[in-house]
């Protein structure tokens, strides 16, 4: 009997061991699935892994500009909400072909703006488009999609990233991680939040450890740091949007339960984490709490949708909690329209599945991104003026409006002032200065930008309703007249720089005049601007801003040009040094040489002009080339420009003009004529001195030929009187020489451009012709 019992016990143990080795589905984790789906192990069957983006990825936040919103039909949201969404932005509705007519009829009957709706034909398995929809990113300045393995065995849903990559015709990158949209929120500046379901699923299903998860999130999405918390809700779904939400880069909404609720401590643990963790702007998150009663009372408030300047909040079953939740949103997001949304359809809201789960925003591919990363906060060390540095990225590809890159600031609650921002020299980066404050001043500010496509944006997005804020430390006036900074530097043509005159004395100071000592004689290449009439009285504690920009310079300096601005005041003369980079200066059309001699050694010359607009890169159109009128009525010169006129000359480009003597006009003495190059910006003049003896030197056989000209390779010089042929480039180097009456030359390997061909005849006469090699 004991032996039989032992065998039976052994069999039970063996069976238990086999069962333990067989991985069973997590039934709670697979809520909403059929039993067949629960046993389905085909997750990610069509997933294709790729290398990460080669450019810098930026995972766009939900609160950034959206061109549209994705939904799925049959719907998971009320038709009345679709109508509201269609009046906010474009609606992209995923629908199979067999359902499209029904969807169209339903939407028309519900008052949907059909001109703002596009059907995307694709099969789908569910309406949780938040979870399986594409993750939109910018790769550098271009839109792209990142695909992951959807953590549900629903192949049609899991294919949706590819559907939309084809729909938009944009790249898609395959990130081999099991993930879901409901468990991912991001701030648009590299910070992301999920709960630890992401670690659990990837380790259990694919053996991917935490370090690898974090690395992939960084490589494909640019997420670092990645805040992975516990799931305070402790429910089957373990999605972050069921308990938390980014409202801005520095604002997070987190649900709060009554202290009597057993999950209370876990919500508080997560809230405390963010209250003590720095946001991307360098200070702890501002955590807003929305009250939920707990239990089975419906209160899905964090599962909301932010769409441009509107927040759609799913409402629960208790009006008191509903109203309080809407008030929290309004407090946290001033200037936004907060709309409560009821869902009385058969598939109404749930605490673990509401409006956010069933929609997904589509980022504006042409948005303007204002990225002022080094936000001023807390107490700042004293400076006479404080810089605000921001990047402006116009994803539309259009130019920024240089006069619309601004810092708005208010000192001690006063009226907002405006500081124009100028380029720093770093890519996409601009700086503006806050000034005029005192020690211990309280300063509010925000950054604004606009581009030529019509896009505008501010940081913070709430502008003056909830600006950035800092305090200037205490400061004792020096008792002196302060000039700051004392050295300015200009690196770009459109750049303006400023210095400030600060009266820290106890008496009025009179600013009498400004004088500039230019290094290059009287050539004016600086423009000094100020918003007062001189002489101007600067009262104690007040500041005068003086702006310095560039004018047009008729000479081309090299490297940094240094000028000194002298400021004459009632307390004496003060100076400011301005360093200007030569490539920032526009010189217009200019030439290195203005006088040319034509004699027996040089019967023809090549003159040249250059577009000196290297600062603004502005092209100059050369319209005509003329010679001063000869009293005989016949020109002294034959003028051959290198290109047909009119010609648009790019910045830094050279334009060559071949000048040779018209022998019918030569005299026995030197004559002078002028050649004038006319353009859309200015005129350049050459003086030409011609030796009359050239008439005998340039006589040559009429049978001398040079052909083909222009040439792409072979050309020939021939004539009965030809003795020798010499070819020179434009810097005077001889590139070819041969003797004979007929000379064939191969110029295939020569650099493209203009060459001078000296044809020496038997009597010693030299005929110089221009050859163009293409």
Which residues are the active-site residues? 357
HSE-up of residue 377 (Cα within 13 Å, Cβ side): 15
Which residue, 362, 381, 369, 373, is CA-closest to 405? 369
List all residues 6 or more positions away from 398 whose beta carbon is below 8 Å from its beta carbon: 451, 452, 453
CA 352 to chain centre: 38
- The helix (H) or strand (E) run that includes residue 341 is strand 337-341
- The helix (H) or strand (E) run that includes residue 68 is strand 66-72
Which residue, 442, 439, 441, is CA-closest to 474? 439
Q: How far apart are the first and last CA of the chain?
A: 107
Radius of gyration of the chain (CA): 38
Residue 759 to residues 415, 445, 640, 697, Cα–Cα distance (Å): 78, 74, 18, 12
DSSP-based three-state secondary structure for 7: helix
Q: What angle do CA 267, 292, 329 make, to 5 degrees?
A: 95
Which residue, 437, 343, 428, is CA-closest to 386? 437
| 725 neighbors 760 (Cβ within 8 angstroms) | yes
> Which residues pair with residue 772 across a beta bridge?
754
Q: Per the structure block, which two tokens stand in for 179?
A: 């993930």
Q: Per the structure block, which two tokens stand in for 113?
A: 């703006």
| 442 neighbors 471 (Cβ within 8 angstroms) | yes
What sections of 171-248 are H helices per DSSP? 197-206, 210-221
| 436 neighbors 543 (Cβ within 8 angstroms) | yes
Q: What is the Cα–Cα distance from 560 to 387, expressed in whole angstroms? A: 24
């Amino acid at each position: 009997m004991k032996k039989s019992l032992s065998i039976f016990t052994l069999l039970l143990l063996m069976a238990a061991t086999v069962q333990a080795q067989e991985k069973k589905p997590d039934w709670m984790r697979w809520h909403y699935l059929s039993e067949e789906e629960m046993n389905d192990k085909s997750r990610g069957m069509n997933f294709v892994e790729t290398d990460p983006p080669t450019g810098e990825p930026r995972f766009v936040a939900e609160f950034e500009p959206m061109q549209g919103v994705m939904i799925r039909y049959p719907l998971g949201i009320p038709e009345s909400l679709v109508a509201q969404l269609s009046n906010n932005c474009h609606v992209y509705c995923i629908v199979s072909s067999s359902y499209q007519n029904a969807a169209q009829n339903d939407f028309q009957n519900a008052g949907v703006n059909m001109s703002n709706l596009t059907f995307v034909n694709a099969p789908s398995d569910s309406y949780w488009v938040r979870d399986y929809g594409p993750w939109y990113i910018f790769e550098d300045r271009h839109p792209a999609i990142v695909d992951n393995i959807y953590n549900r065995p629903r192949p049609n849903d899991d294919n949706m990233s590819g559907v939309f990559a084809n729909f938009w015709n944009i790249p898609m990158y395959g990130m081999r991680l099991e993930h879901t949209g409901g468990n991912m929120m991001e701030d648009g500046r590299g910070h992301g939040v999920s709960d630890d379901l992401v670690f659990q699923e990837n380790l259990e299903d694919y053996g991917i450890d935490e370090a690898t998860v974090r690395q992939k999130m960084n490589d494909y999405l640019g997420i670092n740091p990645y805040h992975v918390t516990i799931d305070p809700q402790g429910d089957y779904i373990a999605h972050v949007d069921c308990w938390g939400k980014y409202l801005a880069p520095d604002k997070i909404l987190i649900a709060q339960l009554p202290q009597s609720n057993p999950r209370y401590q876990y919500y508080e643990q997560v809230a405390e984490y963010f209250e003590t963790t720095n946001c991307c702007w360098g200070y702890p998150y501002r955590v807003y709490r929305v009250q939920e009663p707990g239990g089975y009372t419906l209160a899905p408030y964090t599962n909301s949708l932010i769409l441009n300047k509107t927040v759609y909040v799913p409402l629960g079953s208790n009006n008191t909690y509903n109203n309080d939740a809407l008030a929290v949103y309004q407090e946290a997001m001033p200037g936004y329209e907060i709309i409560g949304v009821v869902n009385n359809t058969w598939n109404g809201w749930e605490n673990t599945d509401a409006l956010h789960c069933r929609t997904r925003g589509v980022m504006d591919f042409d948005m303007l991104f204002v990225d002022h990363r080094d936000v001023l906060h807390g107490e700042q060390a004293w400076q006479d003026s404080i810089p605000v540095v921001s990047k402006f990225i116009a994803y539309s590809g259009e130019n920024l409006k240089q006069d619309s890159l601004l810092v708005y600031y208010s000192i001690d609650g006063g009226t907002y002032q405006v500081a124009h921002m100028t380029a720093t020299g770093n890519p996409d980066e601009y700086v503006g200065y806050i000034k005029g404050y005192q020690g211990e001043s309280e300063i509010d500010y925000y950054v604004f930008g606009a581009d030529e496509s019509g896009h505008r944006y501010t940081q913070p997005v709430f502008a003056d309703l909830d600006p950035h804020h800092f305090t200037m430390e205490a400061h004792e006036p020096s008792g002196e007249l302060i000039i700051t900074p004392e050295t300015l530097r200009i690196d770009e043509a459109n750049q303006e720089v400023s210095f400030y005159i600060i009266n820290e004395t106890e008496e009025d100071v009179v600013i009498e005049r400004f004088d500039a000592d230019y290094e290059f004689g009287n050539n004016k290449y600086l423009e000094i601007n100020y918003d007062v009439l001189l002489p101007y009285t600067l009262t104690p504690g007040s500041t005068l801003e003086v702006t310095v920009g560039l004018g047009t310079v008729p000479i081309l300096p090299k490297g940094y040009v240094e000028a000194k601005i002298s400021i004459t005041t009632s307390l004496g003369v003060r100076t400011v040094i301005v360093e200007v980079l030569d490539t920032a200066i526009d010189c217009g059309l200019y030439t290195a040489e203005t006088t040319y001699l034509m004699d027996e050694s040089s019967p023809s010359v090549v003159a040249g002009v250059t577009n000196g607009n290297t600062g603004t890169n502005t092209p100059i159109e050369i319209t005509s080339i003329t010679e001063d009128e000869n009293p005989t009525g016949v020109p002294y010169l034959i003028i051959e420009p290198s290109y047909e006129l009119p010609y648009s000359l790019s910045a830094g480009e050279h334009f060559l003009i071949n000048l040779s003597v018209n022998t019918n006009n030569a005299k026995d003495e030197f004559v002078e004529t002028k050649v004038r190059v006319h353009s859309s910006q200015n005129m350049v003049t050459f003086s030409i001195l011609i030796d009359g003896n050239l008439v005998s030197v340039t006589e040559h056989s009429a049978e001398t030929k040079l052909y083909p000209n222009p040439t792409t390779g072979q050309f020939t010089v021939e004539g009965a009187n030809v003795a020798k042929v010499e070819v020179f480039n434009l810097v005077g180097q001889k590139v070819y020489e041969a003797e004979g009456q007929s000379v064939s030359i191969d110029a295939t390997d020569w650099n493209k451009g203009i060459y001078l061909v000296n044809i020496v005849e038997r009597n010693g006469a030299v005929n110089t012709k221009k050859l163009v090699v293409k």
